[in-house]
Homo-oligomer: A and B are copies of this chain.
Amino acid sequence: MIGDLALIWSAQMLHNSGLTNEELISVLPVYDEMRVELMAGQYLDVYEQSLGTQSIERSLKVARFKSGKYTIERPLHFGAALGKADAGLVSIYTNFGIPLGEAFQLRDDLLGIFGDPTETGKPSGDDLREGKRTVLMAVAMDKSNKTQLEEIKKLFGDPNLTSAQVQRLQEIIIETGAVSHIESMIEEFTSTSLSALNHGGISPVGKGLLTELAILATSRKI
């Protein structure tokens, strides 16, 4: 119920944020679309958990809808609507925003398991104890040999993991090559994202700011 209230308050805040009536009307379609996408992502996430199997492709889709789109693409579309951008710019923002949102989420997966808790603010090992189905874990399982897979299945998602077991799982994940695979996916997605800025239609200043955004979103430690 607190979640429902927060959902309503967030709409109320947008309505009272100081936008002109014309501006507010122009962002409402983006806002609605973003919220429907987020629900779809949340549904896919729960559905994915219920399947009990991992798939890199499905995990990427969850990441795209659950966080990628509302983290980067849709906020840019908000700006596009406020600035009365043409369809070309809106589509550049999509080509820039979707892969960057995915790269952002992949960085989040890594930080959730390997991040420094004093920097991230999230207790280390929580994602492993919770059995959070991320692209990282899908890749780790995909690249595991039989022994590694058995050990992952035994430990992953056990809410009572000791620190030593958390560390053991971290080691296995690295040993499978999943971490370097995710790092190269982040690099690839960021590069795809940045190349969308080369198709004209964006001012040099805009290009500089968006490039900075791409670096901040994917190289972060928190």
Contacts and interface: CB of A to CB of B under 8 A. Distances in A.
A12 B25 contact: no
Contacts of A28: 15
A21 B11 contact: no
B36 A5 contact: yes
A46 interface: yes
Contacts of A114: none
Interface in A24-41: 24-25, 28-29, 32, 35-36, 39
A90 to B, nearest CB: 19
Contact of A4 (B12, B29, B39): B39
Contacts of A46: 1
* Consensus secondary structure, chain A interface: helix
Contacts of A7: 4, 7-8
A171 interface: no
A206 to B, nearest CB: 28
A136 to B, nearest CB: 24
Contacts of A9: 36
Contacts of A36: 5, 8-9, 12
A16 B36 CA distance: 15
A12 B32 contact: yes
A7 B6 CA distance: 12
A212 interface: no
A42 interface: yes
Nearest to A13: B32
Contacts of A15: 28-29, 32
Interface string A76-95: 00000000000000000000
A25 B14 CA distance: 12
A76 B3 CA distance: 28
Interface of A: 1, 3-5, 7-9, 11-12, 15, 21-22, 24-25, 28-29, 32, 35-36, 39, 42-43, 46
List 9 A-B pairs, minimum CB-CB distance, nearest first. A12-B32, A8-B35, A5-B39, A21-B25, A15-B28, A4-B39, A1-B43, A8-B36, A1-B42
